[in-house]
Chains A and B, each alone.
Chain A
Amino acid sequence: MFPSRIWRESKHRYRLEAGKCKKCGKIVFPYRLICPECGDREFEKIILPDTGKLMSYTVIRVAPSQFTDQAPYAVGIADLGDGVKLLAQIADCDVEKIKVGMDVRIEFRRIQTDAHHGVLSYGYKFVPKWY
Chain B
Amino acid sequence: MRDVAVVGVGINKFGELWNHSLRDLYVEAALAAIDNAGVDHLDSMTIGCMTSGLFVGQEHLGSLLADYLGQKNLAASRVESACASGGLAFRNAYIEVASGMSDIVMAGGVEKMTDISGDGATYALAAAADQEYEVFHGATFPGLYALMAVAHMEKYGTTREMLSAVAVKNHHNGAMNPYAQYPFEVTRETVESSVMVASPLRILDCSPITDGAAAVILTTVDIAKKLGKPIIKVIGSGHATDAIALHSRDDITTLNATTEAAAQAFKMAGKTIKDVDFAEVHDCFTIAEIVVMESLGLYPPGKAGEAVVKGETALEGSFPINTSGGLKSKGHPVGATGVAQIVELVKQLRGEAENGRQLTNSPKIGMAQNMGGSGGSTLVHILEVA
Interface of A toward B, CB cutoff 8 Å: 9, 30, 36, 55-65, 67, 70, 73, 75-77, 85-89, 100, 111-112, 121, 123, 125
Contact between B147 and A61, CB atoms less than 8 A apart: no
Contact between B199 and A61, CB atoms less than 8 A apart: yes
Contact between B123 and A64, CB atoms less than 8 A apart: yes
Contact with A along B162-206 (1 / 0, CB 8 A): 000000000000000000000000000000000111111100000
Contact between B147 and A123, CB atoms less than 8 A apart: no
Would you give the shortest CB distance from B373 to chain A, in whole angstroms?
A: 14
Q: Which residues of chain A have C-beta atoms less than 8 A from B97's C-beta?
A: none
Q: Which residues of chain A have C-beta atoms less than 8 A from B198's C-beta?
A: 58-62
Closest to A55 in B: B151
Assuming the contacts A56-B148, A56-B151, A56-B154, asked whether A61 and B246 have C-beta atoms less than 8 A apart, the reply is no
Contact between A75 and B137, CB atoms less than 8 A apart: yes
Chain B contact residue count (CB 8 A cutoff): 35
Can you list 9 A-B pairs with a CB-CB distance of less than 8 A? A56-B147, A58-B199, A61-B195, A61-B199, A62-B195, A64-B138, A86-B133, A87-B245, A111-B137
Q: A55 to B152, alpha carbons, bound, how many Å?
A: 11
Contact between A63 and B137, CB atoms less than 8 A apart: no
Assuming the contacts A75-B138, A123-B136, asked whether A59 and B247 have C-beta atoms less than 8 A apart, the reply is no
Q: Which residues of chain A have C-beta atoms less than 8 A from B149's C-beta?
A: 58
Assuming the contacts A58-B147, A61-B197, asked whether A111 and B136 have C-beta atoms less than 8 A apart, the reply is yes
Q: Which residues of chain A have C-beta atoms less than 8 A from B245's C-beta?
A: 87
Q: Which residues of chain A have C-beta atoms less than 8 A from B122's C-beta?
A: 62, 64
Question: A58-B143, A61-B195 known; 19 other A-B pairs, CB under 8 Å?
Answer: A55-B151, A56-B154, A57-B150, A58-B198, A60-B138, A60-B140, A60-B197, A60-B198, A61-B196, A61-B198, A64-B123, A64-B138, A65-B119, A65-B123, A73-B138, A86-B247, A87-B247, A89-B137, A121-B136
Q: A20 to B369, alpha carbons, bound, how many Å?
A: 36
Would you give the shortest CB distance from A11 to chain B, in whole angstroms?
A: 13
Q: A130 to B119, alpha carbons, bound, how many Å?
A: 35
Q: How many A-B residue pairs have CB under 8 A?
A: 96
7 A-B pairs with least C-beta separation: A58-B146, A56-B151, A85-B247, A59-B199, A56-B147, A87-B247, A67-B138
Contact between A87 and B133, CB atoms less than 8 A apart: yes
Contact with A along B249-260 (1 / 0, CB 8 A): 000100000000
Would you give the shortest CB distance from B300 to chain A, in whole angstroms?
A: 21
Closest to A85 in B: B247
Contact between A88 and B146, CB atoms less than 8 A apart: no
Contact between A62 and B197, CB atoms less than 8 A apart: yes
Q: Which residues of chain A have C-beta atoms less than 8 A from B139's C-beta?
A: 60, 75, 87
Out of B132, B147, B201, name the residue touching A77 (CB < 8 Å): B147
Contact between A77 and B137, CB atoms less than 8 A apart: no
Q: Which residues of chain B have C-beta atoms less than 8 A from A89's C-beta?
A: 137-138
Contact with A along B351-386 (1 / 0, CB 8 A): 000000000000000000000000000000000000
Out of B148, B154, B246, name the residue touching A87 (CB < 8 Å): B246
Q: A2 to B343, alpha carbons, bound, how many Å?
A: 43
Q: A111 to B241, alpha carbons, bound, how many Å?
A: 30
Contact between B199 and A77, CB atoms less than 8 A apart: no
Q: A57 to B126, alpha carbons, bound, how many Å?
A: 18
Q: Which residues of chain B have C-beta atoms less than 8 A from A64's C-beta?
A: 119, 122-123, 126, 135, 138, 140
Contact between A57 and B147, CB atoms less than 8 A apart: yes
Would you give the shortest CB distance from B200 to chain A, in whole angstroms?
A: 8
Q: Which residues of chain A have C-beta atoms less than 8 A from B103's C-beta?
A: none
Q: Which residues of chain B have C-beta atoms less than 8 A from A112's C-beta?
A: 136, 138
